[in-house]
Amino acid sequence: MDRFGNAVTNLTAAHARGPAAFTVKKHRIPAAGTYARVARGRALAVLGSSGTYELSVREGSFAKAFHAKPATRERRRGVRRLPAWRRSCA
C-alpha cells in the first residue's frame, strides 16, 4: 500500500492480454487511463509512475474500501493466482 491507500501491484501492462481488469473480492476493477474515466468513489486500476498497476478508488482509499493489506493475494483475469500487492517503500 502506498500512503494514499492505493494497492501497488507487481504487474505491468506487459502482463495484460488485451484490456486489463482485476478481480478483488468478487468486484471487477477495470484498468483506466485516468481517474477521470470513472465516477467518484469507484475502483480502478491505473499504471503508476513505476510502471506497475495500482488499484485505486477515485477520491478515496482502496485499502479502506476493500479492507486490503500488504501482501494480500488476489487474482488477475487470465492468470493463476499471483501476489497482487507488494510492500510499498512510500
Query: What domains, with CATH codes, occur in the chain?
Result: 7-83 (2.40.30.90)
**So what's the pLDDT on residue 9?**
84
d(CA 12, CA 8): 11
- 3 state SS of 29: strand
At 57, the pLDDT band (50, 70, 90 cuts) reads very high
pLDDT value at 56 more than 50: yes
**So what's the pLDDT on residue 90?**
35
| Cα of 36 vs its chain's centroid, Å | 16
d(CA 2, CA 75): 20
